[in-house]
Structure 1
Amino acid sequence: MNGASRIALAEARTRLDALTDSSSADAAKLADELAAVTTLLQREVSLRRVLTDPAQDGSAKAELAGRLLGGQVGGSTADLISGMVRSRWSQPRDLVDSVEELSATADLTAAEQRGALDNVEDELFRFGRIVESSTALRSALTDRSATTAAKSALLRSLLGGRADPVTERLVVRLVTQPRGRSLEAGLQTLSRLAAARRGRVVATVTSAVPLTDVQKQRLGAALAKLYGRTVHLNLDVDPDVVGGVSVQIGEEVISGTIAERLEEAARRLAG
């Protein structure tokens, strides 16, 4: 997402934060309603084109959105969408992607308000690892011939009562409405959004043997120095990992034998 769309999304995030900071706002309800708007915009190609047409007046687009959503969603959601369509978007898909992101963020905010954000973040990571390790499960969840109801039922049998309700909602939406993305990519996006709620970076750490508490603390501190932000460690063990430990942050991969190498790199950058 570039240019005008990036600015529009940043403005929408600010408005969502203002809404969810209010004690009267129901973040979970906002999430559900924004998810419904995402589905509408994904289905109605001509509508999203009209709502992102730079030749159309922003007020007119906001009025149209208000008419379409009136009575279907709450006032807060309608106002948020109206504000978004007033903005300029580089391409129609960016609006849909942004509404979807705001839906996930609202759900993560609901978890944060309950003190459950860390659990949700860890559950998303663990679910991703389960999917990677089970070809049969991945096939069932990505089978285009399977109905939405069947996929939802499978996920609820796996997650219901075992995972936080926010984790379950996020995963069900991702699987039943993939919008052309791979399951793995969608889970990574959700993990990044969860980390962003705490202003931190997510590092996937794969080691040949489990790290000790001291090693985890030193690794986390070293990465925080390198990236200038708190780093959340998602830990995995793979006896075949080359070099003893591998750290992946986004597209960047750092390999080494012990956390001291990262500490040394951080010292060099600082000095």
Structure 2
Amino acid sequence: MRGTSRASLAGAEERWEPVLAAAGAQSSVLGEQLFALVDALDSSGSLRRTLADPSIDGDAKAGLVARLLQAADPRVVEVAQGLVRSRWSADEDLTEATEHLAFHAVLATAEADDSLARVEEEIFRFSRALTGQREVRRTLFDTAVPREARVKLVEDILAGRATPVTTALATRLAAAPRGRRYVPALGHLSDLIAARRQRQVATVSTATPLTDAQRGRLTEILERAYGSVVQLNVVLDPHVIGGLRVQVGPQVVDATVLARLADARRRLAS
């Protein structure tokens, strides 16, 4: 999102968070209703353009949203009306913002029952389990596969092994890929959870397990570098021949032997 959209989303988040705090365990219901609005915006370009058009009166757009969401919770209607009254750099940003608030509503349910850390761990483990499952990943991303089949695949994989919040989020990503590949979409959820927990998540790829002392030292280094609490998610990868590959959000610190060899080859070639 560009500046105008980011500012509008920040304002919407500021208004939404007190609502979620008051709703507690019922926040997931609010999230599902916002997801329905996301689906409506995705399915109708004309609706999306109308609701994001800054030249159209805000009250008129708010009235249209109220009619669209006439069966929804009043709190959902109010936040949606706030979204359409705001300014957006692109009409797709309105949809992204609506989905963003919906994800946070579902996550707030886990926050209310103190299971957010467990959800974070389950999403990470699910993401890693899919790494070697190319056909499964392709199916979950392929909109030619019926929506119900994609959702059932996720439900079958997670059956009895995940919290309701994790299952709800994972099935939502399968039901509405929205042009995103499945594993990166799970990574985006991890980033949202980290933000709610006010921490950074560092995914560390290494050929051998880290000792407690190594984990502690690496955590200390990263926390000093990023100025915030850092959670390490360690992935064993036999292709990492010595060293570490550390990813924090979009940033990658690659200190593996392979990376150094590649750098040496580039130097020789130049």
TM-score, scaled relative to structure 2: 0.90
Say yes or no: does 1:135 pair with 2:170: no
What's the offset of the Cα at 1:253? 1.8
**Is structure 2 residue 230 aligned with structure 1 residue 226?**
no
Deviations 1:159-187 (A, max 9, x none): 12111111111111111201111112211
Matches for 1:170-209 after TM superposition, within 5 Å:
170-209=169-208
Change in CA separation of 1:216 and 1:25 when aligned onto 2, cut-off 3 Å: closer
SS in 1 for 2:200: strand
Q: Distance in 2 between matches of 1:217 and 1:115?
A: 25
Residue type of the alignment partner of 2:219: G
Report if the CA contact (8 A) 2:25-2:109 is conserved.
no
Q: Which deviations, in whole Å up to 9, do the C-alpha atoms of 1:84-109 show, x marking residues without a partner?
A: 11111111100001111111111111
Aligned counterparts of 2:120 and 2:164: Cα–Cα separation in 1 = 12
The corresponding residue for 1:43 is 43
1:67 matched to 2:55: no
Q: Deviations over 1:111-148 (max 9, x none)?
A: 11111111111111111112211123223323333211
Specify the SS of the correspondent of 1:103.
helix
Give 3-state SS (helix, strand or coil) of 2:153's partner: helix
Asked if 1:216 corresponds to 2:177, the answer is no
Give the Cα separation in 1 of the matches to 2:14 and 2:254.
37
Mapped contact 1:206–1:246 kept (Cα < 8 A): yes
TM-score, normalised to structure 1, is 0.90
Equivalent in the alignment of 1:252 = 251
Higher mean alpha-carbon deviation, 138-147 vs 197-206, is at 138-147
- After superposition, where does 1:1-271 map in structure 2 within 5 Å? 1-23=1-23, 26-71=26-71, 73-256=72-255
Which AA in structure 1 matches 2:13?
R
Q: Which amino acid aligns with 2:114?
A: G
Do the aligned partners of residues 250 and 25 (structure 1) sit closer, same or farther apart at CA in structure 2, a change above 3 Å counting?
Answer: closer
Query: CA, structure 1 residues 111+236, in 2 after alignment: closer, same or farther (shift >3 Å)?
Result: same
On the 8 A contact 1:19/1:25 being kept in 2, the answer is: no
Root mean square deviation, CA, Å: 1.5
Alignment partner, residue 263 of structure 2 = none
Secondary structure class of the residue paired with 2:42: helix
**How far, CA to CA, are the matches of 2:45 and 2:254 in structure 1?**
44
Question: Do the aligned residues in 2 keep the contact of 1:247 with 1:255 (CA within 8 Å)?
Answer: yes
Task: Report the CA distance shift for 1:254/1:65 in structure 2 as closer, same or farther (over 3 A).
Answer: same
1:24 Cα offset (Å):
6.8
1:25 Cα deviation from its structure 2 partner: 7.4
The answer (yes or no) to whether the contact 1:243–1:255 under 8 Å persists in 2 is no
CA distance in 2, matches of 1:91, 1:120: 32
Measured in 1, the distance between the counterparts of 2:23 and 2:254 equals: 45
Q: CA deviation at 1:49?
A: 0.8
Percent identical pairs in the alignment equals 42
Partner of 1:266: none
Structure 1 residue ranges (4+ consecutive) displaced by more than 4 angstroms after TM superposition: none
- 2:264 maps to none
- Give the 3-state SS of the residue equivalent to 1:144 in structure 2: coil
Q: Distance in 1 between the 2:57 and 2:108 partners?
A: 33
Q: What is the alpha-carbon distance in structure 1 between the residues aligned to residue 254 and residue 180 of structure 2?
A: 28
